[in-house]
């Protein structure tokens, strides 16, 4: 097995044992990126690759290892960062033309923590513009391709991060999850993604889509790797007033405990509302098998009803556009980003420049959501739409509370279908929105969730994800049960699911 | 379930979209309005189902975690230099953001 195929936990051991250097590891991943990311048929997970910076950081890491002063267990393990997180010295575009070439003068707290832990940053990953989408097709810089089938979507908005780890371009990546943007890409690329409890990870330096929903989290190939990364990025940050000022649960210990595959005494609930019409047969079949395997491993399973979940999508598509339309008002062509002058106007006003800039700089989906949010917040409709959505949010939280009185964790498939074809839903917003049916409730209620691979759908041979949700602050539970599910699947398959992905042909065009 | 407001049952006209675009400070040309208005109608029809779902007794949630005001010690911390703050500006002058005229002819 080559270095790029090893998981981060194995790499930390190899680095500690002196079997490999960080420079070697970082170069191996840069070579992989150069081989499979670029060109017409490349994965296109990266918007920007920082070979020089990553190798410099790797050399510094090797010097620390040699001196016996590593900064963390993950010191020297390279990582990819979603392009919605501010990085000093590296462009941060959020997949938008309006921020093309913008280089932030500060680091997001999570990025500062990666640096403080010694992880070389390989580059910035592709995403739907301002994280609005479920396929990365709304990136202004072209879509990312799913390594399982290059004609299919890698999920979104964090399809770049998921595709990067799925195609062995990076062992670790950071994503952000506002309505499923870590978990759904994880599901459709056969990788692991975690949305921590709201406030568990700092949002400082995360370019906000919807402040009350956004959360940064790990994107990896194994549950333990996610836990190792979670440990690095989580914890209180005085620069984020919504950050939780409490100790981080021991997610690494939970992942190690779960990896034994024993679920004796764990009560799991299957969410009744997340099934039925619109749910692909092969997805449901793999999901039911996973639940059966968990029962065989000692879990007790019950069906749980969360009746308000049927309104989650409507609530989400009112709350999110409302928050997004306010957040994106900052792109006013004055302080950073694009400035476009309107055509045929002498001495245009600031407002005319702002209107022309936002027309040129924003893509269709961003325009749709800004206008939708402006509508939802306008005086005549506020109570009927936005006010109702906030109340439904309360009902969804109550559903979770009632459910977690009965069970330890809740289960559902992560997404209703496997990866669809590029272009298939691009101009059908509603069809696109339905991908996040199962992941949205967790964001509305702030609870943590994980997606772990649970097999391949029979009809198309594409990955299916199992979603595990836990009560707020009980992030350790999603790691314990997630690791157990992973162990059970690996046993059933005789190896990791990702081993079944087709070998990528080298496109050789560079990133 | 209370009646939905009959005139707002999820349908949004092209003129309304044009007005909202002005409010949102986005120039939309005719082709964009033709394209976006019907899509916004479809989305609004779909989210309209939310009307009347929760009764008056249900409090709204604006934020998933219970929060109180957060304060910090009133001490000076390092911040961006003027040069850093202006580093991404489309135009800068004398350590300030340079902007187009902000007043109309009639003002």
Distance from C-alpha of B41 to C-alpha of B63, rounded to nearest angstrom: 28
Q: What is the pLDDT of residues A308-353, one digit of tens each?
A: 999 999 999 999 999 999 999 999 999 999 999 999 999 999 999 9
Answer yes or no: is pLDDT of B9 > 80: no
Which of A231-269 are b and which e, b meaning 16 or more Cβ less than 10 Å from the residue's Cβ? bbbbbebeebebbbeeebbebbebbbebbebebeebebb
Q: pLDDT band for position B8 (50/70/90)? A: very low
Contacts of B98 (CB under 8 A, 6+ apart): B89, B91, B92
H, E, C per residue of A331-342: CCCCCCCCCCCC
A104:B88 CB<8 A: yes
Q: What tens-digit pLDDT sequence spans chain A (511 residues)?
A: 799 999 999 999 999 999 999 999 999 999 999 999 999 999 999 999 999 999 999 999 999 999 999 999 999 999 999 999 999 999 999 999 999 999 999 999 999 999 999 999 999 999 999 999 999 999 999 999 999 999 999 999 999 999 999 999 999 999 999 999 999 999 999 999 999 999 999 999 999 999 999 999 999 999 999 999 999 999 999 999 999 999 999 999 999 999 999 999 999 999 999 999 899 999 999 999 999 999 999 999 999 999 999 999 999 999 999 999 999 999 999 999 999 999 999 999 999 999 999 999 999 999 999 999 999 999 888 888 999 999 999 999 999 999 999 999 999 999 999 999 999 999 899 889 999 999 999 999 999 999 999 999 999 999 999 999 999 999 999 999 999 999 999 999 999 999 999 999 888 654 4
A105:B24 CB<8 A: no
pLDDT at position B72: 84
> Domain A3-309+394-502 is classified in which CATH homologous superfamily?
Amidase signature (AS) domain (3.90.1300.10)
pLDDT at position A509: 56
Q: Which domains does chain B have, with CATH numbers?
A: 1-55 (1.10.20)
Q: Does A102 touch chain B (CB under 8 A)?
A: yes
- Chain B positions touching A242 (Cβ under 8 A) are 63, 65, 67
Q: Which of B53, B64, B100 is the closest to A348 by Cβ? A: B100
Contacts of A95 (CB under 8 A, 6+ apart): A47, A83, A84, A126, A127, A128, A129, A130, A131, A136, A138, A139, A140, A141, A157
Answer yes or no: is pLDDT of B66 > 90: no
Q: pLDDT band for position B106 (50/70/90)? A: low
CB under 8 A, 24+ apart: contacts of A134-138: A134/A180, A134/A181, A134/A184, A134/A432, A134/A433, A134/A435, A134/A436, A135/A159, A135/A420, A135/A422, A135/A425, A135/A426, A135/A432, A135/A435, A136/A95, A136/A160, A137/A422, A137/A423, A137/A426, A138/A95, A138/A363, A138/A364, A138/A365, A138/A366
pLDDT at position A427: 86
Q: Which of A61, A96, A135, A157 is catalytic?
A: A157
Nearest alpha-carbon partner for A221 in A262, A260, A258, A168: A168
**A vs B: CB pairs below 8 A:** 186
Q: Is A181 a catalytic residue?
A: yes
- Chain B positions touching A395 (Cβ under 8 A) are 53-54, 58
pLDDT above 70: percentage of residues in chain B = 88
Distance from C-alpha of A160 to C-alpha of A205, rounded to nearest angstrom: 19
- Chain B positions touching A313 (Cβ under 8 A) are 46-47
Q: Is A305 a catalytic residue?
A: no
B65:A472 CB<8 A: yes
Of the two residues B69 and A282, the one the predictor is more confident about is A282
Distance from C-alpha of A192 to C-alpha of A10, rounded to nearest angstrom: 16
Interface test with B, best of A350, A375, A437 (most B CBs within 10 A): A375
Distance from C-alpha of B72 to C-alpha of B67, rounded to nearest angstrom: 15
Q: Which of A337, A384, A446 is the closest to B64 by Cβ? A: A446
Q: What is the pLDDT of residues B87-102, one digit of tens each?
A: 999 999 999 999 999 8
B43:A430 CB<8 A: yes
Q: How far is CA B84 from CA A99, A251, A333, A336, in A?
A: 16, 37, 17, 11
Average pLDDT, chain B: 87
| Alpha helices (runs of H) in A214-280, residue ranges in sequence order | 223-233, 251-258
Q: Which of A6, A22, A82, A167 is catalytic?
A: A82
């Amino acid at each position: 097995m080559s270095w790029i195929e090893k998981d981060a936990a194995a790499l930390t051991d190899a680095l500690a044992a002196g079997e490999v250097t960080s420079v070697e590891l970082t170069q191996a991943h840069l070579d992989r990126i150069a081989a499979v990311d670029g060109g017409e048929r490349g994965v296109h997970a990266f918007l920007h690759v920082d070979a020089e910076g990553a190798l410099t950081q790797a050399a510094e890491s090797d010097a620390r290892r040699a001196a016996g002063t590593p900064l963390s267990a993950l010191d020297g393990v390279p990582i990819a960062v979603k392009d919605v997180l501010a990085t000093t010295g590296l462009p941060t575009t959020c997949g938008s033309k309006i921020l093309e070439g913008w280089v932030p003068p500060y680091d997001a707290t999570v990025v500062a923590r990666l640096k403080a832990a010694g992880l070389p940053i390989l580059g910035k990953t592709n995403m739907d513009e301002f994280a609005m989408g479920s396929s990365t097709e709304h990136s202004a810089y072209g879509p990312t391709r799913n390594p399982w089938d290059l004609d299919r979507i890698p999920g979104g908005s964090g399809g770049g991060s998921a595709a990067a780890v799925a195609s062995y371009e990076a062992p670790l990546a950071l994503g952000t999850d506002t309505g499923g943007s870590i978990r759904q890409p994880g599901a459709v690329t056969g990788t692991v993604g975690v949305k921590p409890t709201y406030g568990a990870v700092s949002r400082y330096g995360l370019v906000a889509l919807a402040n009350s929903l956004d959360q940064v989290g790990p994107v990896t190939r194994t549950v333990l790797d996610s836990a190792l990364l979670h440990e690095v990025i989580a914890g209180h940050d005085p620069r984020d007033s919504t950050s939780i000022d409490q100790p981080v649960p021991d997610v690494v210990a939970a992942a190690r405990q779960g990896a034994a595959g024993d679920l004796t005494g764990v009560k799991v609930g299957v969410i009744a509302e997340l099934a039925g019409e619109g749910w692909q047969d092969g997805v449901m079949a793999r999901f039911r098998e996973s639940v059966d395997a968990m029962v065989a491993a000692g879990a007790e399973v019950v069906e749980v009803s969360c009746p308000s979940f049927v309104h989650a999508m409507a609530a989400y598509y009112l709350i999110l556009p409302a928050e997004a339309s306010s957040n994106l008002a900052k792109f006013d062509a004055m302080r950073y980003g694009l400035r476009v002058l309107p055509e045929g106007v002498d001495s245009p006003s600031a407002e005319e420049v702002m209107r022309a800039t936002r027309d040129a700089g924003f893509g269709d989906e961003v325009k749709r959501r800004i206008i939708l949010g402006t509508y939802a917040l306008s005086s005549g409709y506020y109570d009927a739409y936005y006010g109702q959505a906030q109340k439904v949010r309360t009902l969804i939280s109550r559903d979770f509370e009632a459910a977690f009185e009965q069970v330890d964790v809740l289960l559902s498939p992560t997404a209703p279908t496997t990866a669809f074809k590029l272009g298939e839903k691009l101009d059908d917003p509603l069809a696109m929105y339905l991908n996040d049916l199962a992941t949205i409730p967790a964001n509305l209620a702030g609870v943590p969730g994980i997606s772990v691979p649970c097999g391949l759908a029979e009809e198309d041979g594409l990955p299916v994800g199992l979603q595990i949700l836990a009560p707020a602050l009980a992030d350790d539970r999603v790691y314990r049960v997630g690791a157990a599910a992973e162990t059970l699947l690996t046993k059933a398959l005789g190896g990791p699911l990702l081993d079944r992905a087709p070998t990528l042909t080298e496109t050789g065009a560079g990133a | 379930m209370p009646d939905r407001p009959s005139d707002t049952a999820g349908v949004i006209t092209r003129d309304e979209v044009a007005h909202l675009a002005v409010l949102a400070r986005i120039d939309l040309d005719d082709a964009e309005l033709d394209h976006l208005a019907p899509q916004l109608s479809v989305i609004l029809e779909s989210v309209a189902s939310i009307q009347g779902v929760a009764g008056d007794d249900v409090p709204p949630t604006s934020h998933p975690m219970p929060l109180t005001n957060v304060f910090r010690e009133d001490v000076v911390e390092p911040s961006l230099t003027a040069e850093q703050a202006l580093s991404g500006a489309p135009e800068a002058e004398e350590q300030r953001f340079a902007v187009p005229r902000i007043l109309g002819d009639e003002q």
